[in-house]
Structure 1
Amino acid sequence: MALTTPIADIGWPAAPFRLLGVDSHYHSLKQLMGRRGTVVAFICNHCPYVQAMMPRLIRDARELATIGVNVIAINPNDADAYPEDSFAAMKQQAKAWDLPFHYLHDETQAVARAYGAVCTPDFFGFDAEMRLQYRGRLDAGRNEPVEEDTPRELFDAMRLVAHLGYGPGEQEASIGCSIKWREPQEAAERGLIQSAT
């Protein structure tokens, strides 16, 4: 089911996290944040929207890194229900994609919930002080190829953030596959969250 992201509350601070990456090491937001900005991207392996846009995200991430903006990718999907999004599969996919950024596993889904992520891909662009300045799409592409002259909306927004400290006034919502949430009872039984009872 395709979802679009809601309008963001610009200026809210990024929620800290410490997650396991495909390099088998834990990484915190503080360790990975960029000097002039940071993109936190919620993605997964199997989503056709993610697969279609990944070459363009990789291109943009490499270029953003040259101006001090880092990209961090997080997979929040329920790997029990979707084995293609398992941590082992993440490692394989990261190698296949030759990712230039860290790809982290949000097994408990707590980070996705803290950010209010709703779909894959879902992009959050922060300034140097880790305040939200962009909640929009990568570009106008969906799950098909795009024209070469398609505006690079995320890239242009983060370049603006890096140089001026704020994002564009108009931001188009991202669209993608819904995040595959665990059932609360199942997560509680596995010790991933505390039961409310």
Structure 2
Amino acid sequence: MAVTTPIADLGWHAAPFRLKGVDGKMHTLKELSGRHGTLVIFICNHCPYVKAVLPRIIRDARELLPLGVNTIAINSNDDSTYPEDSFDNMQRLAAEMDFPFHYLHDETQEVARAYGAVCTPDFYAFDAGGCLHYRGRLDASGREPAPEDAPRELFDAMRLIAYYGYGPGDQYPSIGCSIKWRDTELAEAPSGQKALAA
């Protein structure tokens, strides 16, 4: 089911986490944060919306690195019902696509709930101090990529945050597949922005 991200409640700080990456190591938000900003993305392997924009996510992540911005990708989906999103398949996809960022497994789904993530892809752009300034779409893409000359909304927002410490006034919601929650009774939109132990 396709869902869109809610209107952003900006200004809250990134919740810390400690998650296993496809390199087999545990990583924390503090360790992976960029000098001038951090882009946290909730993605997965199977979602057609993610597949449509994954090459652009990779492109943007590479181009943000010289600006001191690091990207962190997190998969929170229940792989018991969506085996394509398993940790082994995360490792395979990251290797095949040569991800320029860490791809982390949120097995307990606590991080997705802490951030209030609702769909894949779901983008959060934080400044150097970990304050949220953008929660919007990558560009005008949906299940199919937008035209090549479509404005690079997320990239431009993150560059603005890195240079000046604030995001754009106009932000359009991201659209994608709903996060696949383990407990269907708790599958409503998460409350979000609660602290996690690092």
User: Which category of TM-score, normalised to the shorter sequence, fits these structures?
Assistant: over 0.9
Amino acid at match of 2:95: K
Residue in 2 that maps onto 1:74: 74
Matched, 1:163 2:167: no
Which residue in the other structure is 1:142 paired with? 142
CA distance in 2, matches of 1:92, 1:58: 16
C-alpha distance in structure 2 between counterparts of 1:159 and 1:134, whole Å: 11
Q: How does 1:79-98 map to 2 (within 5 A)?
A: 79-98=79-98
Query: 2 CA distance for matches of 1:160 and 1:58?
Result: 19
| Alpha-carbon separation, structure 2, partners of 1:184 and 1:101 | 31
1:146 CA drift (Å): 2.3
| 1:147 positional shift | 1.4
Aligned to 2:194: none
Larger radius of gyration: 1
Distance, in Å, in 2 between the alignment partners of 1:10 and 1:77 is: 25
Matched-pair contact (CA < 8 Å) for 2:43–2:73: yes
In structure 2, what is the Cα distance between the partners aligned to 1:148 and 1:135? 22
What is residue 35 of structure 1 aligned with on the other side?
35
| Partner deviation per Cα, 1:83-142 (whole Å, 9 max, x = no partner) | 100001100111111100000000000000000000000000000000000000000011
How large is the Cα RMSD of the aligned pairs?
1.2
For 2:184 and 2:110, locate their aligned partners in 1 and report how far apart those are by CA, in whole Å: 12
Structure 1 residue 185, shift from structure 2 partner:
8.1
State the distance in 2 between where 1:92 and 1:130 align: 30
1:1-197 matches, within 5 Å, as: 1-183=1-183
Q: In the TM superposition, what is the alpha-carbon distance from 1:184 to its structure 2 partner?
A: 6.6
**2:10 maps to amino acid:** I
**Unaligned stretches of 5+ in structure 2?**
187-198
How far apart are the structure 2 equivalents of 1:2 and 1:182?
18
CA offsets, 1:127-177, max 9 Å, x none? Answer: 000000000000001111321111000000000000110000110000000
| One-letter amino acid of the structure 2 residue matched with residue 142 of structure 1 | G
The separation in 1 between residues aligned to 2:86 and 2:3, in whole angstroms, is 22
How many residues of Structure 1 are paired with residues of Structure 2 in the alignment? 186
Q: TM-score, normalised by structure 2?
A: 0.92
Give, as a single letter, the amino acid of the residue that structure 1 aligns with 2:167. Answer: G
Distance 2:151 2:5 in 1: 19
TM-score, normalised via structure 1 length: 0.92
